[in-house]
Copies of this chain bind each other. A is one copy, B any other.
Amino acid sequence: MTVLERFLGGDQSALARIITIIEDRTDGYQDVLARFYPRSGKAVRIGFTGPPGAGKSSLVNSIARMLLAQGKKVGIIAVDPTSPFTGGALLGDRIRMVDMPSDGTVYIRSMATRGSTGGLAAATGNAAVALDAFGFDYVLIETVGVGQVELDIIDTCDTVVVTLVPESGDAVQALKAGLMEIADIFALNKSDRPGAENIAAELNMILEIKREKQEWEFPVVMTEAINNKNIDRLLSKIEKHIAYLHSSGQFDKHRREQIRKKIVSIVTAQINVVVREKLTQMVDIEKVVGEIYEGKTDPYTVSKELIRLSRMG
């Protein structure tokens, strides 16, 4: 049997192999994804983001366990673009699998660039499509921070849970960070620690503005992931948000927007490959580079001419 046949038969080791193929962009990975798309779309995608040390992994694990107890199948993608310094994602999945059932109802995958690959956001989105096509009911995506890569990742999710801790600083910080814009739900984790009430009150105050404009409640849930406290409440808010997305028509709209972006990204990536080839055929790049290096011209003037020559502008 091919790896694809084994995947379609529900073999998790084939799933792991397929995600590696997707991650490495091995020849033919696009054909694999093309086959997955029509099978995907059913899984609910929940994103979890927040600063390092906020307890996102514990929170995701707790939510996953609760979903598993409900008979749901759960795929988890842990993205850690900053892992180089923490090593978090390197061993993470193996450590995290320990307390998870091995009956095929859950699958955990860590993804991290170690400073070389790039395309992490695209790879994560593609991995989510694979998990979706594999048959998971929920795909939980966990990532650190709100850099561009992380934002692109979070953008592939239906519901976004931002996790903060009392030590994260004040809510105004979160506001500056753009977290208010992406958060559907705030989980204030480690909420037994001092300052939790203060940051919750601040968050609630700032969120009032959003609540007035939209029908969604933007809840702040005080959690203690490690003690399994209020995880049920957080999950019910997640489910409520998904229901809200459906009833308001936003679910469809957002998913369609993602497809639109996907098309544009595939087309532009492909055309960029062609452009690069054309450029080298069209002119003596080394000569032009030398002229810029010597201060005789500049990259913008050169590029304008190249675009004119390519007849692609």
Bound form: Cα–Cα A51–B297 in Å = 38
Flag the segment in A67-75, A141-149, A208-216, A234-242 that touches B: A141-149
Residues of chain B with a CB closer than 8 A to A90's CB: 176
Flag the segment in A57-65, A102-110, A220-228, A258-266 that touches B: A258-266
Q: Oligomeric state, in number of copies?
A: 2
A269 CB, min distance to chain B CBs, angstroms: 9
With contacts A87-B169, A263-B302 taken as known, whether A256 is within 8 angstroms of B289 at the C-beta atoms is yes
Chain A residues touching B, majority SS: helix
Counting chain A residues whose Cβ lies within 8 A of the other chain, the interface size class is 35 or more
- The contact sample of 26 A-B pairs, CB cut-off 8 A, is A33-B298, A33-B300, A34-B298, A34-B301, A51-B85, A81-B147, A84-B145, A114-B176, A115-B146, A115-B148, A120-B148, A147-B149, A256-B289, A263-B288, A263-B289, A263-B299, A263-B306, A264-B275, A264-B279, A266-B299, A267-B307, A268-B268, A268-B275, A268-B276, A271-B271, A272-B272
> A residues near B, CB below 8 A?
30-31, 33-39, 41, 51, 81-82, 84-85, 87, 90, 113-116, 118, 120, 145-149, 151, 168-169, 173, 176-179, 181-182, 252, 255-256, 259-260, 262-264, 266-268, 270-272, 274-276, 279, 285-286, 288-290, 292-293, 295-303, 306-307, 310, 312-313
